[in-house]
Amino acid sequence: MQCLEFILSEDYNKMTPVKNYQAHQSRVTMILFVLELEWVLSTGQDKQFAWHCSESGQRLGGYRTSAVASGLQFDVETRHVFIGDHSGQVTILKLEQENCTLVTTFRGHTGGVTALCWDPVQRVLFSGSSDHSVIMWDIGGRKGTAIELQGHNDRVQALSYAQHTRQLISCGGDGGIVVWNMDVERQETPEWLDSDSCQKCDQPFFWNFKQMWDSKKIGLRQHHCRKCGKAVCGKCSSKRSSIPLMGFEFEVRVCDSCHEAITDEERAPTATFHDSKHNIVHVHFDATRGWLLTSGTDKVIKLWDMTPVVS
C-alpha cells in the first residue's frame, strides 16, 4: 500500500459556528449528523445519549446509558441507534421523532467497546474493544450469532467497512491495519466448558480436592481448547494453531486431537496485516477511490491507497 503523510498544525482559519446545542453536562464523546432526517446524535461523559433537530436545535429526546459511551452508529432505514460503552455493553434503541424505545442490550467483550461499524446491507454490526478483539454481530438475521475476530496485539480503536467487497478494516493501538475478508463462511467460537477435571485425560484440576485425595494426584491448571471449548490440562493441549475461520489469525491453544484434525486449508489466512507505524485512533474509508485516511496520537494524518488489498 502507498501512503502520504500530513502533519497537523495549530495554525488554522477561524470558522463561524452555525448552531450551538446544549446537549450534555460534560465532555461530548461521540457525535453523528444524520442528513436524511436532519438529526444530530451525540453521547457524553454524563452517560447521556441525546438527539437534536439540526435545523431548530430543539432537543428531541435522550437516554441514559449504563456507562460512558465510546461507540455510536445509526441505521437510517430502521432508525435504530447502536451505542457501545466502556463497560463492554452494546445498546440498541429505536428512535421516533420525539421518543426512543430500548430494543435490546448485549455483551460479548471482556473490555470496553472502543469502536462500532454498521453494515446496513448485510445488517451486521461490528464492535472493536480494548480487549484487542472485534466481534461481528448478526443483527438482521436474528440468529444471535457472534463471530469473534482476533488480529490485534493492542486495543482496537477504529473500524471501517467496504460494503462492495465485504471487507472489514480494523485499526488499533498496535499500529496495525488489518483487512478482514468477511465474504467467507465463518464459525462461532465455542463456549468454554466447565469441568473439575481434564476432559481428555481425567486428571483433576487444582481446586478438585476430593479427586486429588482419592487419586493421590496433584491438581493441574485448567486451560481451554479454542476450537472445541473443552476444559483440558496443559499436557493435553500442548499444541498451537491458527484457526482463521473462527477469527484466530494468530496461533492459539488447541487440544491435541483438534490440532490433528485442523487441515492446511483451514489454516489459510482470511486477513492481511499492514503496519501503519502510528497509533491509529480514527479512520475514514473512501470506497470510490479505495483510499483510507488514518489519524493517530502522533498528530499525523496518513492517506493510504488500499486498492491493492481492498478490491
Interval 122-138 mean pLDDT: 94
pLDDT at 18: 62
Cell 473439575 sits on residue: 196
Give the pLDDT of residue 194. Answer: 86
And the C-alpha cell for 146?
457472534
pLDDT tens, residue by residue, 11-25: 555 666 666 767 788
- Predicted pLDDT of residue 269: 94
Residue 13 pLDDT:
58
Q: What is the pLDDT of residues 248-305, one digit of tens each?
A: 999 999 999 999 999 998 899 999 999 999 999 999 999 889 999 999 888 899 999 9
Asked if the model's pLDDT at residue 237 lies above 70, the reply is: yes
Q: What span, in angstroms and rounded, lies between the C-alpha atoms of 162 and 158?
A: 14
Q: What is the pTM of this model?
A: 0.85
Type of residue numbered 224: H
For 122, residues 6+ apart whose C-beta sits below 8 A from its C-beta are 140, 163, 166
Over residues 102-112, the pLDDT tens digits come to 999 999 999 99
Task: Say if CB 274 and CB 179 are below 8 A apart.
Answer: yes
- Helix (H) or strand (E) holding 115, with range, is strand 113-119
How would you list the strands of the sheet with 133-138, edge to edge? 113-119, 124-129, 133-138, 146-150, 248-254, 239-243
Q: What architecture is domain 188-267? A: 2-Layer Sandwich (3.30)
Q: What is the CATH number of domain 2-9+32-186+270-305?
A: 2.130.10.10
Residue 197 has pLDDT above 90, yes or no: no
Identify which of 34, 45, 139, 41 has the alpha carbon closest to the alpha carbon of residue 90. Answer: 139
What does the pLDDT read at residue 310?
87
Look over the chain and give the mean of its residue pLDDT values, rounded to a whole number: 88
Contact 97, 81 (CB under 8 A): no
Quick one: pLDDT band at residue 208, thresholds 50, 70, 90?
A: low
Q: Which of 287, 299, 243 is nearest to 269 (CA)?
A: 243
Domain positions in the chain are 2-9+32-186+270-305, 188-267
For 56-83, write each residue's pLDDT tens digit.
888 888 899 989 999 999 999 999 999 9
Q: In this structure, how many other beta carbons lie within 10 angstroms of the beta carbon of residue 156?
A: 31
